[in-house]
Amino acid sequence: MKLVIILVGVLALVGGGVFGTAMFAPGLLPPAVVTMLGQEVPPEPEKPLVEPRPENTVLIDLEPLQVPLFRNDDVDRFLIIHILVEVRPGEHADLVNQNLLRIIDTFITYIHALNALDIEPGVNDRAFLKQRLLVKAEEILGEGVVVDLLFVNIFERPIK
């Protein structure tokens, strides 16, 4: 008898859970279950179109940047970073070459600001730094011009 009571209680909880999920979060259930419960199936959200990676790209070499990193108003160490900017050939490559000094200036300024804020993740997280520098390059050149930033070499050199 106790087993029947426990079984009925579990079935009631599962049924209530499924019905509650169908009412408040129908996207979590399969569409067939939602329609069985008499609810309208929510439309699937549109996925943004991701532009495919181009087959032909050009690598534009930025001279290695030696960025002093400060701590307590003194130079603590240097960040040496050598970056290749990957773009589509033609007008995108020309645009990058025309704005090369602006890109370098923005990268150095941003690295200084990121180091001064002393936030985590910061300059030590290379993936975060790459993503932020890519955003900064897009601010200068426009969206879709830069395909990727490639770190050839990146390391820190302490003051001796």
Report domain extents, the chain: 2-36, 58-158
Tokens 């603590």 sit on residue: 76
pLDDT tens across 32-79, in order?
777 777 777 767 777 776 667 778 889 999 888 888 877 777 877 888
Q: With 70 as the cut, is the pLDDT of residue 143 above it?
A: yes
For residue 137, which of 90, 91, 99 has the smallest C-alpha distance? 99
* Residues contacting residue 137 through CB under 8 Å, at least 6 positions apart: 85, 103, 106, 107, 145, 146, 149
Cα 72-73-79 angle, rounded to 5 deg = 90
What mean pLDDT is reported for the chain? 83
Point out the least confidently predicted range of 28-32, 87-91, 108-112, 121-125. Answer: 121-125
For residue 62, which of 111, 110, 115, 101 has the smallest C-alpha distance? 101
Point out the least confidently predicted range of 21-30, 73-82, 87-96. Answer: 21-30
Residue 123: pLDDT band (50, 70, 90) is low
Share of the chain above pLDDT 90, in %: 20
Name residue 83's beta-bridge partners. Answer: 151
Residue 100: pLDDT band (50, 70, 90) is very high
Residue 98: pLDDT band (50, 70, 90) is very high
Protein fold of 58-158: Tetrahydropterin Synthase; Chain A (3.30.479)
How far is residue 83 CA from its own chain's centroid? 18
